[in-house]
Amino acid sequence: MTDISVLYEDGEALVIDKPAGLPIERPRRGGASLEDHVEALKLGFQRAPVAVHRLDTDTSGCLLLARNPKALKRFNAAFQDKLVGKTYLGIVAGAVQDDEGSIDLALKKISSKERGWRMIVARAGKPSITHWTKRAELQGGLTLVEFRPETGRTHQIRVHAEHAFGYALLGDPVYGHKDARVGRTMLHASALVVERPGKPDITAQAPLPEDFARLGAG
């Protein structure tokens, strides 16, 4: 058995609620990863499921797994064809003034010896669009925001939040700073919808994590 919750299951797909702090791939330095759970996630199938997309190690919530190579190919095509709807909840480390909006800022990956690699806003970067809606003003000057990325760039929501609001996500050590109130970057993949021509959509919702609820986001 695995202690990872399964949010959706059929013959070609699983959607799991990935815990915060669990990397999808084994870190170079070793340690726990999703790979430790794939045998248990077979759930009676011969093949171990494979992650279709990526979530940052700190990010919790909906992660799509393919149960066979044909499904993996189909789901990869669905992401490329923008047939996948992803919804995230994030806690911004400051006040967000407007109620909703869209962020259209191209992103580029850079690396330096001092800071390692990170994403930056750059004209020469890849097009990146995130739609957002303010959900609640929380105590301590924090803001709960729903993010709906139209594109899927690495660290997209994290960089877009910092540039659009002037505040990074709470606890983000790369684009903001660590915060004693939390133990991670506060981002949660709350819902996932994958369109499948000729078949019912894959739909899943991940419950709000405890660390979000403790800050009044529930």
**Catalytic residue numbers?**
56
Report how far Cα 6 is from the mean position of its chain's Cα atoms: 16
Sign for the pseudo-dihedral over CA of 158, 124, 150, 130: positive
What is the dihedral sign for C-alpha 7, 205, 162, 95? negative
Pairwise CA distance, residues 51 & 65, whole Å: 4
Question: Are 41 and 14 contacting, i.e. CB atoms less than 8 angstroms apart?
Answer: yes
CA dist 100 to 69, 97, 103, 112, 174, Å?
39, 9, 10, 34, 25
Strand (E) or helix (H) holding 117:
strand 116-121
Strands (E), the chain: 6-9, 13-18, 50-51, 60-66, 84-92, 100-104, 107-112, 116-121, 129-137, 143-149, 187-196, 199-205
Q: How far is CA 11 from CA 64, 67, 202, 206, in A?
A: 13, 7, 11, 20
